[in-house]
Chain A
Amino acid sequence: MWSKVYDWLDERLGLEDLYKGLLDRPEPHGNWWNTLGSASLFIFIMQGATGIFLTVYYTPSPDHAYDSIQYIMNGVAFGWLIRGIHHWGASLMVLVVFIHLLRVFYTASYKYPRELTWIIGSFLFLLTLGMGFTGYLLPWNQRAYWATTVGTSIAGTVPFIGPFIERALRGGTDISALTLSRFFSAHIWMLPALLTALIGGHLYLIMRHGESQFPELDD
């Protein structure tokens, strides 16, 4: 019964070819450091899923942001779990993506023909930091407020165009409702859209080139 269903789908979707092409690739003998890319992807998906669920209750406005998170933590069943995963997952994602970057650097896996994979990966790292920065403001507590004050002020120290960048980030001269809603928009729409697109490119290139072979002792 199920094999018939599977055959019907496979004939039309080419599942077997997909599996062979995408997952059943020959890989060089690696080690646990090679799993960090998959770990990053897994955390990204977790962050996406829990983030989507958080928007059910979170309200990006100065008079409701803090209270709506208090409600998620104390009023909704398992709200603490969903937000907890998102909160800790955020730190973990920065960490894992960064260690992934270090591993690629130290094993020199960025060399020909994988330069583009490395360049896209660098942008993925920056976008991950951007997600961390924009997400940090959303709880709208003292720490969020002052962290964003400091962060946007640092952006303001760029020569010549600094003050403009600062105003553009804040949506005005102060941290305000405009800052909160544009950080929210960046956090849930713009940055995730860019991340998803670049992850697609990153994965395509990995499947195209395979993983790099670590040098042997006699190489």
Chain B
Amino acid sequence: MASSNRVSRRDFVKVTTAVLSTIMGAVVGLPVIGYLIDPALKAQKSDTWIPLGPLENYPIGKPTLFTFTRSKVNGWEKTVNSYGVFVLQKSKNEVTVLSNVCTHLSCRVNWHEDVQEYICPCHDAQFDADGKVLGGPPPRPLDKYEIKVEDGDLFIHFVEG
């Protein structure tokens, strides 16, 4: 009865099972990849000007720490992050604003008035008042913010993501 070019019942079941399994696997499996990597694809970007108060608040020649918080919605939760920047008014209206995040491994640097250096507590990185690397492991100077002054108030351009 069964000629050689006819598919046997057993082979038909095997092929059907394989095809259906593949379809079901793909229908569930491919969306799962999207499901898992979704938060990584939605990297949030923000780009805003942060007011740091009147410029005259900052003493000339001495880096001053200014801290602020930014809140961000991650999934179902609002997270508040703290940020610190050093504002240095070198002379009247000549201002540099540096991030306090060490460029080595993201610890926070402190200004040491006695040696006139930023020193990172984690791995002893040293930066001068301008953010230039003086010693230690950091690969690049401290990050500088773009600034603007409007009606005597200082703003920094804050970009995330």
Nearest-neighbour CB distance to chain B for A72, whole angstroms, equals: 9
Question: A57 is contacted by which of B28, B31, B75 (Cβ under 8 Å)?
Answer: B75
Q: Is the interface of A mostly helix, strand, loop or mixed?
A: helix
> How many A-B pairs fall under 8 Å by CB?
42
A85-B35 contact, Cβ under 8 Å, with A68-B76, A75-B75: no
Assess whether A49 is interfacial by the CB under 8 Å rule: yes
Assess whether A8 is interfacial by the CB under 8 Å rule: no
Assess whether B151 is interfacial by the CB under 8 Å rule: no
Assess whether B36 is interfacial by the CB under 8 Å rule: yes
Assess whether A204 is interfacial by the CB under 8 Å rule: no
Assess whether B94 is interfacial by the CB under 8 Å rule: no
State A85–B28 Cα separation when bound (angstroms): 9
Nearest B residue (CB) for A70: B76
Residues of B near A46 (CB, < 8 A) are 28
A79-B35 contact, Cβ under 8 Å, with A49-B28, A85-B28: yes
Contacts of A108-152 to chain B: CB distance below 8 A: none
Residues of A near B77 (CB, < 8 A) are 64, 67
Assess whether A56 is interfacial by the CB under 8 Å rule: yes
Inter-chain contact A53/B76, CB cutoff 8 Å: no
Assess whether B150 is interfacial by the CB under 8 Å rule: no
State A79–B38 Cα separation when bound (angstroms): 10
Residues of A near B32 (CB, < 8 A) are 53, 78, 82
Q: Interface extent on A, as a size class?
A: 20 to 34
State A60–B77 Cα separation when bound (angstroms): 14
Assess whether A105 is interfacial by the CB under 8 Å rule: no
State A77–B42 Cα separation when bound (angstroms): 10
State A82–B39 Cα separation when bound (angstroms): 16
A77-B76 contact, Cβ under 8 Å, with A53-B36, A56-B36: no
Inter-chain contact B34/A78, CB cutoff 8 Å: yes
Q: Mark A53-97, 1 if CB is under 8 A from B, else 0.
A: 100110100001001101100011111011001000000000000
Contacts of B53-82 to chain A: CB distance below 8 A: 75-77
Nearest-neighbour CB distance to chain A for B86, whole angstroms, equals: 36
Nearest-neighbour CB distance to chain A for B14, whole angstroms, equals: 11
A81-B75 contact, Cβ under 8 Å, with A53-B36, A56-B36, A76-B38: no
Question: B75 is contacted by which of A50, A68, A78 (Cβ under 8 Å)?
Answer: A68
Inter-chain contact B35/A78, CB cutoff 8 Å: yes
Contacts of B1-51 to chain A: CB distance below 8 A: 28, 31-32, 34-36, 38-39, 41
Nearest-neighbour CB distance to chain B for A23, whole angstroms, equals: 11
* Most chain B beta carbons < 10 A, residue from A59, A68, A78, A85: A78
State A39–B112 Cα separation when bound (angstroms): 70
Nearest B residue (CB) for A24: B10
Question: A82 is contacted by which of B35, B75, B76 (Cβ under 8 Å)?
Answer: B35
State A67–B31 Cα separation when bound (angstroms): 22
State A50–B36 Cα separation when bound (angstroms): 12
Which residues of chain B have a CB within 8 Å of any CB of chain A? 28, 31-32, 34-36, 38-39, 41, 75-77
Q: What are 5 A-B pairs with beta-carbon distances under 8 A?
A: A57-B75, A76-B35, A77-B41, A78-B34, A78-B35
With A56-B35, A67-B77, A75-B76 known, 20 other A-B pairs at CB within 8 A are: A46-B28, A50-B28, A53-B36, A57-B75, A59-B76, A64-B76, A68-B76, A71-B76, A76-B38, A77-B31, A77-B34, A78-B31, A78-B34, A78-B38, A79-B38, A81-B31, A81-B35, A82-B31, A82-B32, A82-B35
